[in-house]
Structure 1
Amino acid sequence: MSVHFLTNTTDSGTNNITAVRNSAVSVSGALILCLFLPIGVSGNLLIIWSILARTRHRSITTLLILNLAFADGFVMLLMPFFIVYWLKRNWIFTLPLCKILLYLCSTNMYASIFLITLMSLHRMVAVVWWNHAGVLTERRAIIRVLVGLWIFALGISVPNPVFYTTFRSELEPTFLMCSCKHPKPRHVILQHCLEIVLGFLMPYGLIISSYMCILCRIRRTRFRRHIRSEKLILVIVVTFGLTWLPFHIMNMLEIAGTFFPEDSHAKARLNQIRLSFRGFSSTVTFISSCINPVLYTFAGKLYIKREGLAFMARLFEGSRIESMRKNRQNQKNQDQEKKEEVGHLKDRI
């Protein structure tokens, strides 16, 4: 997934105003990332350490969270390069590094949204079809899915190193940019449509469908208890959606701009909107990679005093135990419903 910092316009007066505005937005974005960077790095490293060293029973949910922490943590480790870029408003690194960093960043961000989607699908299987789809909840099957997920994320991130390059900005010619430079408008449409469909619409369609199925199952079985792990995953899903929505809206505006002539008022207006909000959307997108450890901390606050730094291990183990309890309760509810149906039939006979 691409991250844009500057966009070209045509009017020189507008260029000067936009350059000053972009400079303020870039500095503000860099300072915000500087505040979140320690939280993101330390938090995701704590999750990885807690799962690998302190978790005795690594459930499927734990494996998914481990991979999500790795993806988010890797993105945060790349952030210092972009913080320097935003502060200096000049790409001081090499062209190959521009392509490699954006490729790695895109891969891990795609992996994050796919992992969150997989969490939702796994919860749906565990709640709705848990007694008929055992193969879908086995460790070996999930490990194969995770390997395929990472390979797919690596594959669909290829457009980034293809289109990303370094060039002088028309707004500020003294500054060297590391950004997308599409040869033709159809390349803009191709790349951004790929990001919107595979990185947002399709995953969130599956996520929403999964939770609708879960809610329907809960209502049908008259099972009203909420499970900590489901609450946690739902909050992760909502947070991730809110942090990525501005980014994809900017992509939609850029796609819309390709359908207007270069000198049209509508195209200039769309460019102005993107210039005003692209820095904000990029900053919020990066923040999504460090917010999950904060959510885990709130979810596991009952374990902090008792377990210390190992509280996340107890949180994930607790999620596993609660999920098993839920399955047993679902089975009891189903058995009770069957007994009631048999009783009604006997009464009729």
Structure 2
Amino acid sequence: MAQHSSLNFLSNSTSTSAPDTIVDNKTGTTMGALILSLVFLLGLPGNVFVIWSILARARKQTVTTLLILNLAIADGSLMALTPFFIIYLILKKWVFKKMMCKILFYLCLANMYASIQLIMLMSLYRLVAVLWPQRISVITSRRTVMRVLAVVWALVMVVSVPAIIYRDVRNEKNTTLCESFYDDDKSYHAALQYMPEIVLGFVIPYTVILVSYICILRRIRQTKFRRRIRSEKLILAIVLTFCLFWLPYHIVNLVQVSWGLCQEGPVKTLLGKIWHNSRAVTSSIAFISSCVNPVLYFFAGKSYIQREGLAFMARLFEGTGLDSATRKSRQNSQNSRDKDKEADTIMLKDKDQDSVTNSNSNVKPVKNGK
């Protein structure tokens, strides 16, 4: 039986391609459980602190803080789910109900999509703010931003539905597994389900992010406002760490897509062994990306700690956002326009004075009252 799971830790095997399940891989399950335990202890309180900092301490919820807030909500939600998967890996069987099996893996996939889409929005926002600062106010009103965020969350909820459709609880090899099950002649369904993850969760967003930052960095090198580089470094670090921790997972996805499309034979058997032996570890490593952002924020904002106390992270987001830089650009543009208007006014006054003088010089003097 061909097997597949979306963002799964344990996937059982086909009868011909991979005789063992990932449950039988002690190294993979042990490493996965250890990684997830550390991720939970570090990531959940870290993301909760970020959420609290923005909601309770931020002076104003700008575009930057709203994006960071939603990213922390997505990451924090993912961290809250990790205890279920830790138990799954330690016991090597699914002890929760069938509905929990569907909902938990659905939420995992939805939050993965949300995280990368929010990071892509950060990159696009910075692209517009750096290249076209005079137009940023048109597309970044609070109402517009809230609508965009609502659309993003709605889309990720929709594209994650296959995790609910295919996920099921079954007994395989004397153990209970929460997996996506397919008929023997439908292993290509693995490709149908994994390809959206690869395309929508990695290829498209990272292409947009890469192009955005190439344009941003080129523009920064052409301008004198070097202080913007500091904020770009923080967001660039978020992008790179997300890519670093999710890349192995998507490579395994690609391997499983190839396995699903491959004909029975030694190549299919080899591909099956690769993704079975790698799935637990690479999925656990992917979770690290959701706990590393608060660590990056801490190091980026440590200069604020002594002065701002517990509000240091809120001050960091306010300081690193391009909202202030955009306002300065608009203010500079307004000042330039004011100076031009002032110059035009002075020129008009000079012209009026000249016309008055010329008019007076053309008046003939009246002699003897005549």
The TM-score with structure 1 as length reference comes to 0.87
Q: Which amino acid aligns with 1:251?
A: N
Q: How does 1:1-349 map to 2 (within 5 A)?
A: 1-10=6-15, 15=19, 20=24, 22-169=25-172, 173-183=173-183, 184-221=186-223, 223-262=225-264, 264-320=265-321, 323-325=323-325, 328=328
Letter in structure 1 aligned against 2:92: R
- Where 1:146 maps in the other structure, the secondary structure is helix
For the aligned residues, what is the CA RMSD? 2.4
One-letter code aligned to 2:216: I
Q: Hey, what's the Cα distance between the residues in 1 that align with 2:125 and 2:252?
A: 31
Partner of 1:346: none
Shift of the alpha carbon at 1:110? Answer: 0.8
Task: Work out whether residues 120 and 205 of structure 2, in 8 Å CA contact, stay in contact via their aligned partners in 1.
Answer: yes
Q: 1:258 is paired with a residue of what secondary structure?
A: helix
Letter of the structure 2 residue corresponding to residue 150 of structure 1: W
Percent identity of paired positions between Structure 1 and Structure 2: 48
Q: Would you say the 8 A contact 1:2–1:180 is kept in 2? A: no
Matches of 2:328 and 2:309, distance apart in 1: 31
1:331 deviation in Å?
A: 8.0
Partner amino acid, structure 2, of 1:175:
T
SS where residue 6 of structure 1 aligns?
A: coil
| Cα distance in 2 for residues equivalent to 1:299 and 1:89 | 39
Please say if residues 120 and 209 of structure 2, whose CA atoms lie closer than 8 Å, have aligned partners that are also in contact. yes
Paired residues, what number? 329
Cα deviation, residue 105, structure 1: 1.5
Instruction: Say which is worse superposed, 34-43 or 81-90, in terms of deviation.
Output: 34-43
**Letter of the structure 2 residue corresponding to residue 5 of structure 1:** L
Q: Distance in 2 between matches of 1:116 and 1:58?
A: 17
CA–CA separation in structure 2 for the residues paired with 1:272 and 1:29:
17
| Bigger Rg, structure 1 or 2 | 2
Any conservation in 1 of the 2:12–2:179 contact (CA below 8 Å)? no
Instruction: Name which of structure 1's ranges 305-314 and 117-126 shifts more when overlaid on structure 2.
Output: 305-314
Q: For the residues of structure 1 that align with 2:237 and 2:228, how far apart are their CA atoms?
A: 13
- TM-score after normalising by structure 2: 0.83
* Structure-2 change in CA distance of 1:139 and 1:226 (3 Å): same
Which structure 1 residue ranges, 5 or more long, are not aligned?
Answer: 340-349
